[in-house]
Amino acid sequence: MSDRSIAVRRMVHRERDEEHRASTPLECFFDLCFVVAVAQAGSQLAHALAEGRLWGALPHYFFVFFGIWWAWVNFTWFASAYDTDDVPYRLATFVQITGALIFAAGVPRMFAGHLAIGVLGYVVMRTAMITQWLRVAAAASGTERTMALRYACGVALCQSLWVAALFLPFHLQQWALPAIVPLELLVPAFAEHHYSTTWHPEHIAERYGLFTLIVLGETVAAATVAVQSGVNGHDELARVLPIAAGGLLVCFSAWWIYFARPIHGYLRSNRQGFLWGYGHYLVFLSAAAIGAGLEVAVQYAVGETRLSAVAAARVVTVPAAVFLFTVWAIHARHNKHGAAQAVLPLAAVAVLGATFLGGGAAVLAAGLVCAAAVGVGLLLHLREEAAG
């Protein structure tokens, strides 16, 4: 912690080339509190999948995860440019954490179509961001001040629309609320049209990496609890072991693939940064869904769901394939050359193909494919280094 007074500081931007710009303890605490909502979303998805309500649950899962992800994204990029670490900043961050916990409490009801508590938590999170941008506007001038005011007004408008939509008849809410999502996504482009925030590439890459770690950790925790609750004897253990082994291989491989090479050198402009950052919606969403799928696969193995073998397998293989392809598309391919470019797309296709093995065999096969992709990628990388 700095020796300077932290009571109140002018909220001026930090420099993009600042050395040793690392995640702060407050940012890490923020992430850990947000993962409560991620866990709730994954748990509700697992329940719905086990009951065979795939197509009914997916829209709710996508919508709930948008609320978690977008609030996290906005805080992360703002903090990269304007983290003053003074008392008002810390208090505003605590308000955002409180909103995240309210949102998490409303997740089960959101899956049932009752959105009021979840929207309340989301609005609390975003209202705190409005106060942060107004602080920036008060300390800035010129185009930077205009940018901050555009952010504050854009976020405020979106929150007003969320609240107004709650007063619509239920059948209209289902159409009105998703229509606000594109407006939320357009606010940064509108606000930063003439002035770009001074986000730090290494800091942003670290923040996204840390949240990926936390989501993968939640996936492992969910799978562990599922295995623990599903195993009551040697017969159940024999049926669950392939799922446990395959699930671990998928998670270990996901970590290796994501962190194989640093990405901050690619993040040189708003266009590159925003496309990369927005694409992580699918990275986080699929990583969390893998945990939900593993829970369902365990329930199938011990006879606690009526899903078919293929249906119980695809709830793991599909999100695993989405993770592999999305990480390649927005992240890994920027550091790959030649044959290495094909490894992850082919692995995603092979993981999808494993679905038809059904049940635990499919999960184990998916894990082996992911591990093989890591091995092939490592071999190609070592050959590239030797040739260079």
In a domain, 331, yes or no: yes
pLDDT tens profile 300-310: 988 888 899 99
Residue 230 has pLDDT above 80, yes or no: no
Work out how many domains the chain is built from and give that number: 2
- Given this model, what pLDDT does residue 336 score? 81
Q: pLDDT value at position 388?
A: 65
Of 334, 344, 147, 368, give the one whose Cα is nearest residue 248.
368
Tell me which amino acid residue 161 is: L
The span from the first CA to the last CA of the chain, in angstroms, equals 43
pLDDT at 3 over 50: no
How confident is the model at residue 314, as a pLDDT?
A: 95
pLDDT surpassing 80 at residue 4: no
| Alpha carbon distances (Å) from 285 to 35, 38, 58, 93 | 12, 9, 11, 23
Q: What is the DSSP string of 126-140?
A: HHHHHHHHHHHHHH-
| 174 and 138 assigned to the same domain | yes
Are 96 and 118 members of one domain? yes
Do 377 and 339 fall within a single domain?
Answer: yes
187 and 206 fall within a common domain = no
Among residues 130, 164, 191, which one ends one of the domains?
Answer: 191
Q: d(Cα 356, Cα 351) in Å, to the nearest integer?
A: 10
Whether residue 121 is found in the same domain as residue 213: no
Specify whether 231 is located in the same domain as 181.
no
Is the pLDDT at 262 greater than 90? The verdict is no
Whichever domain contains 297, its CATH number is: 1.20.1410
- Residue bearing the bigger pLDDT, 38 or 231: 38
Q: Are 166 and 173 in contact (CB under 8 A)?
A: yes
Q: Is the pLDDT of residue 282 over 50?
A: yes
pLDDT of amino acid 1: 41
| Residue 29 CB coordination number (10 Å) | 13
Chain segment 104-156, per-residue pLDDT in tens: 999 999 998 888 999 999 999 999 999 999 999 999 999 999 999 999 999 99
The pLDDT of residue 5: 58
State the Cα–Cα distance between residues 84 and 10, nearest whole angstrom: 8
| Residue 1, in any domain of the structure | no
Q: How far apart are CA 300 and CA 294, in angstroms?
A: 10
For residues 63-86, average pLDDT: 94
Nearest to residue 294, comparing CAs of 271, 278, 314?
314
List, in order, residues 6 or more apart from 362 with CB less than 8 Å away: 246, 309, 310, 313, 314, 316, 317, 354, 355, 356
Q: Considering the domain boundaries, does residue 14 fall inside one? A: no
Query: Is 7 contained in some domain?
Result: no
> Where is the domain boundary, 135, 165, 191?
191
Is 19 a member of any domain?
Answer: no
CB 149 within 8 A of CB 137: yes
Asked which of 191, 222, 247 is the last residue of a domain, the reply is 191
CB-count burial class (<10 Å; 0-12, 13-18, 19+) for 166 = middle
Residue 40 domain flag: yes
CB 297 within 8 A of CB 225: no
What span, in angstroms and rounded, lies between the C-alpha atoms of 339 and 80?
A: 35
Give pLDDT, residue 235. 66
Average pLDDT of the residues in 322-330? 96
* Encoded tokens for 370: 């992911």
Please check whether residue 104 lies inside any domain of the structure.
yes
Say whether both 164 and 250 belong to one domain: no
Question: What residues make up the domain containing 269?
Answer: 201-387
> What's the confidence (pLDDT) of residue 2?
45
Tokens encoding 227: 């295995």
Q: Same domain, yes or no, for 224 and 93?
A: no
Q: Tell me: pLDDT of 321 over 80.
A: yes
Q: Does residue 230 or residue 214 have the better pLDDT? A: 214
CA–CA distances in Å: residue 125 to residues 122, 128, 162, 253: 5, 6, 13, 33
Quickly state the pLDDT bin for 357 (edges 50, 70, 90): very high
264 & 314 share domain: yes
Asked whether the beta carbons of 218 and 227 are under 8 A apart, the reply is no
Residue 20 domain-assigned (yes or no): no
12-16, 62-66, 177-181, 384-388: which is most confident: 62-66
SS3 115: coil
Say if residue 312 is in the same domain as residue 235.
yes
137: left (phi over 0), alpha (psi -120 to 50) or beta: alpha
pLDDT of residue 228: 79
Are both 100 and 186 inside the same structural domain? yes
My answer on whether 173 and 245 are in the same domain is no
